[in-house]
Amino acid sequence: MKVFIRPQSFSAISFDLDDTLYDNRPIIQKAEAASQQFLQQHYPKSTQWQLRDWHRLKFDLLQHAPELRHDTSLARVVMLERGLLMLGYDVAVAKEGAKAVLEQFILYRSQFAVSKEVLELLQALKRRYRLVGITNGNVDHLRIGLDGIFEFVLHPGQGVKQKPAKEMFVQAAQRLGIPLASLLHVGDSASSDVDGARRAGCQAVWLNPGFGSATIARAKMQVPHFQIQSIFQLEQLL
Q: Tens digit of pLDDT for each residue in 157-185? A: 888 999 999 999 999 999 999 999 999 99
Q: What is the pLDDT confidence band of residue 66, given thresholds at 50, 70 and 90? A: confident
Which residues of the chain form CATH 3.40.50.1000? Answer: 2-22+113-237
Predicted confidence (pLDDT) at residue 215 exceeds the cutoff of 90: no
Q: Tens digit of pLDDT for each residue in 30-56? A: 999 999 999 999 999 999 999 899 999
Tell me, yes or no, if 16 is annotated catalytic.
Answer: yes
Give residue 206's pLDDT.
97
What is the average pLDDT score of the chain? Answer: 94
**Homologous superfamily of domain range 2-22+113-237:** HAD superfamily/HAD-like (3.40.50.1000)
Give residue 80's pLDDT.
96
Under 8 Å between Cβ of 155 and 173? no
Give residue 221's pLDDT.
84
Give residue 213's pLDDT.
86
Give residue 69's pLDDT.
85
Give the predicted TM-score (pTM) of the model: 0.91
CA 232/CA 118 separation, integer angstroms: 8
Q: Tens digit of pLDDT for each residue in 121-141? A: 999 999 999 999 999 999 999
Give residue 129's pLDDT.
98
Give residue 78's pLDDT.
95
CATH of domain 26-109: 1.20.120.1600
Which residues of the chain form CATH 1.20.120.1600? Answer: 26-109
Q: Angle of helix 51-64 relative to helix 72-86, nearest 10 degrees?
A: 110
Q: Tens digit of pLDDT for each residue in 15-26? A: 999 999 999 999
Mean pLDDT of the 116-120 span: 98
The residue from 16, 19, 193, 195 that is catalytic is: 16
Q: What is the pLDDT confidence band of residue 10, given thresholds at 50, 70 and 90? A: very high
Q: What is the pLDDT confidence band of residue 71, given thresholds at 50, 70 and 90? A: confident
